Amino acid sequence: MPKVRSEERKNVGTVYTLYNENQVEVSVIADGARLYEWIVLVDGQPRDLVVGYESLVDHQKARYYGATIGPVAGRIAGAQFELDGKIYHSEANEQGNTLHGGSTGYDTKKWQVKTFQNETEAGVVFSLEVADGTGGFPGNIQVEVTYALNEENTLRLSYFAKTDQKTLFNLTNHGYFNLTGQASEPIDFHYLQVNAKEVAQTNADVTTNGKTLPVMDTKFDFLKAKQIGTTLLDDPFLLHHEQKEDLVLVSPDQKVRLSVATTAPAVVLYTTGENEADTQMKTGRLTNHGSLAIETQAVPGTEKYAQFGDIVLRPNEPYRQETTYQVHF
């Protein structure tokens, strides 16, 4: 039966670890409702699949590693949006746009914690209350993010939120992965499959322009598993949800397979590059192209382009999103 324990770790604080009879250990922390570590045993050796800092201070400085991102993941072009004819101004924290909820985004918050264990899962429920107007977003909002591990080595991330006023809402987890367990290894030789026939086109500032592009015969074509190579990504893939799995990532030694399925309409894939290279991570010095962020979410720009769906959170219509990550090893 899966269990949860907590411990105090130097430079990190309280770490909540979900573990099962296959010796999978997933550790999360309340700061940013953050995925901190994911250890599986490969040939008897522990392998941490999550790329991130060792210390809390470094996480707080860098912000996004493993964190829950909200209220709106991605970029809001021009740092403004309209709801029922009223224009709201969010914070322009990157090139005149709002990135990841601005400087008061959910990754910067210390969430409340409850743990649970039952016959099939052990988990942590992080909760947060956000006051009306925080970051320029209307609504007194209550958010819950649940991390739960079962004996099938599946980590379930379930999101729930409710608001007392219409607002924008599009959460994600900003987990970075390198299935070799070494941040010093590039992800070039990882095998990636993404069940998306289109990507959303982006502008130079990575905002979306409302158009989509078929992936066929482009660098975005991962409809059949293939090695990532030196491909740089920072793009929203529109998932077709025709198969049980939406994304599969396999380590170069093919000893670890991460299968992702989500209720979200898209996944933003972001490969780290020169900007992040040479940073000291838990699992070594991050090399150029050393990790892949897998961010399941609604398409950034949905507030502007109705063809991408709807990210308005309305009173009496709670937000729900669920993403599962199953590891085979």
Between 17 and 170, whose beta carbon lies closer to ligand G6D? Answer: 170
* Vertex 175 angle, CA 174 and 179, to 5°: 155
Between 46 and 273, whose beta carbon lies closer to ligand G6D? Answer: 273
Q: Which of residues 150-209 bind ligand G6D (CB under 6 A)?
A: 206
| Contact predicate 179/49, CB 8 Å | yes
| Binding residue for ligand G6D, selected from 82, 129, 132, 234, defined by CB under 6 A | 234
The count of chain residues that interact with ligand G6D, using the rule CB under 6 A, is 6
Look up residue 179 and give its two tokens. 């299935």
Between 16 and 325, whose beta carbon lies closer to ligand G6D? Answer: 325
What is the DSSP secondary-structure string of 164-214? SS-EE-B-EE-EEE-TTS-TTS-GGG-EEEE-EEEEEEE-TTS-EEEEEEE
Between 4 and 268, whose beta carbon lies closer to ligand G6D? Answer: 268
Least Å distance, CB 172 to ligand G6D, is 9
- Measured distance CA(198)–CA(203) in Å, rounded: 16
* Vertex 207 angle, CA 203 and 211, to 5°: 65
Which of 91, 144, 185, 295 does the annotation list as catalytic?
A: 295
Q: Which of residues 80-139 bind ligand G6D (CB under 6 A)?
A: 99
- Measured distance CA(50)–CA(48) in Å, rounded: 6
Least Å distance, CB 3 to ligand G6D, is 33
- Measured distance CA(140)–CA(148) in Å, rounded: 26
Least Å distance, CB 62 to ligand G6D, is 8
| Contact predicate 52/66, CB 8 Å | yes
Least Å distance, CB 309 to ligand G6D, is 19
Q: Is 33 exposed, middle or buried (0-12, 13-18, 19+ CB in 10 A)?
A: buried
- Measured distance CA(217)–CA(222) in Å, rounded: 10
Least Å distance, CB 7 to ligand G6D, is 29
Which of 174, 190, 198, 289 does the annotation list as catalytic?
A: 174
Least Å distance, CB 154 to ligand G6D, is 25
**Neighbour count for residue 22 (Cβ, 10 Å):** 15
Between 218 and 275, whose beta carbon lies closer to ligand G6D? Answer: 275
Q: Which of residues 256-315 bind ligand G6D (CB under 6 A)?
A: 268, 270
- Measured distance CA(212)–CA(201) in Å, rounded: 5
Between 200 and 250, whose beta carbon lies closer to ligand G6D? Answer: 200
Look up residue 12 and give its two tokens. 């990190």
- Measured distance CA(199)–CA(211) in Å, rounded: 9
| 174 catalytic residue (yes or no) | yes
Between 47 and 100, whose beta carbon lies closer to ligand G6D? Answer: 100
Least Å distance, CB 42 to ligand G6D, is 28
Q: Which of residues 62-91 bind ligand G6D (CB under 6 A)?
A: 64
- Measured distance CA(232)–CA(225) in Å, rounded: 17
Query: Within 13 Å of residue 151, how many CA atoms lie on the same side as its CB?
Result: 7
Site string for ligand G6D, 206-225 (x = CB under 6 A): x-------------------
Phi, psi torsion values for 25, nearest 5 degrees: -130, 115
SS3 label, residue 278: coil
Q: Catalogue the active-site residues.
A: 174, 295
The site for ligand G6D (CB under 6 A) is made up of: 64, 99, 206, 234, 268, 270
